[in-house]
Structure 1
């Protein structure tokens, strides 16, 4: 196994360029980590496993992303592996030494009969920050994915930064989901009633599971008090479901997504038991 080395990237006027790599593989029925390496702001730590699931935590070793930074995480769950990735704390996007935007790219690959949970803490876009974030996900037909992302627009009492995101998911080489969003100064209409309105926290939960092919989920508005935000579950054209949520703040957003994730987990377990009984 390649262990994480101390950060070596230095912040220059043009920003930090750093990449982290995680590879999970199976050996004797156990998921191992033959590759676990990062530099710059990425310090990777292996957490205690849960059953067959191997868990990795991304720890921030320096302030990032700042303007001009180019950051990337590449994670692969090889055939049959079960990988869970989280983070130790929220990611804070800040104004950098250059007016150039920062980029944060996440590249996930999940091979046949493998499972990947991407469940980091929220991204906070502080005033003056400018970030472009992408997720590029490639799934085998039998792969399973749970991907969660949360964005908090501005710290308490301050205006939001600017963030543009794109999520592209392919399953078996075909597009399953391709969406873009943009919030903050310079993004037209982002705080209008058709988008976020007065809310300053937004997030989504994407679940891809082959069991949905036999019985896809139904569209549903997840029950919640109006002042705590809204969340809706939508089936996709494939074995997948997308939960989209908006809330006044990060605490209430997390509560919405936690509820959605628990609901979807119970629904999938019930579906799988029903299929076994057929």
Structure 2
């Protein structure tokens, strides 16, 4: 039997009036090291499995600040066989992330890695609505297969709208169910870790960033709006995190 679960977070200047989770999505208030509130997502059971439908909603209201992280990586696993004509075909899992950042508000969305285990099939969709004076730091990291195994099928899409206008929209597909060439030299080149860091905020209107290389396997690209995107590939999760963390700690932003 598949799991349907939603976690919801609402942050205001006064705190966290809404903090609820279901099934595998447990959310806990944790000690903040910076301004505003901090919430940690704690996996309460193995998920997502094939057929599961999971969602996280986070709303940061005007003037509030929120950091969301996770206690552990999310592992997409093979699921139960779907019914119907071909009962041997596992049903894909879905993971929806819906984020809203108000005026003069700030959201740091910093989950742990998403691991695509062999045999899994996950469709992940992240949507962000960012107010004109809101600020967003969003990190995504995908690890294609556990140690020594082939990856599952993973499709992710990230859409960011700022002030009701498109800022960023990108879809990535990896694994045996993805179009051919995903592992070639023009895409991953044999690497098994891929990630991106998106930073958007009004400070980029005053001083837009310039494109630059961040080593052999990472690049910083200004968005067509007030923000930047850092894209990186790496051989493993540790190398990928080190690259993205260096950008977060860099004084340029």
Q: 1:186 to 1:24 in 2, by over 3 A?
A: same
Q: In structure 2, the residue corresponding to 1:40 is in which secondary structure?
A: coil
Alignment partner of 1:205 out of 197, 203, 209: 197
State the partner residue of 1:46.
29
C-alpha displacement of 1:51: 4.2
In structure 1, the residue matched to 2:169 is: 178
Distance 1:260 1:132 in 2: 28
Root-mean-square deviation (Å): 0.8
| 1:169-215 CA-partner distances (Å, limit 9, x unpaired) | 00010000011110010212110110001100000000001010011
Deviations 1:2-25 (A, max 9, x none): xxxxxxxxxx1xx10000000001
Please, which runs of 5 or more residues in structure 1 have no aligned partner?
Answer: 1-11, 269-278
Matched, 1:234 2:221: yes
SS at match of 1:50: coil
Displacement after TM superposition at 1:26 (Å):
1.3
- Larger fraction in helix: 1
Aligned length: 244
Query: Residues 161-172 of structure 1 correspond to what in structure 2 (within 5 A)?
Result: 161-172=152-163
| Equivalent position of 1:20 in the other structure | 7
- Look up the match of 1:250: 237
Tell me what 1:119 maps to.
110
- With normalisation by structure 1, the TM-score equals 0.86
Partner of 1:195: 187
Unpaired stretches in structure 2, ≥5 consecutive residues:
82-89
CA distance in 1, matches of 2:32, 2:42: 17
- What residue is the counterpart of 1:3 in the other structure? none
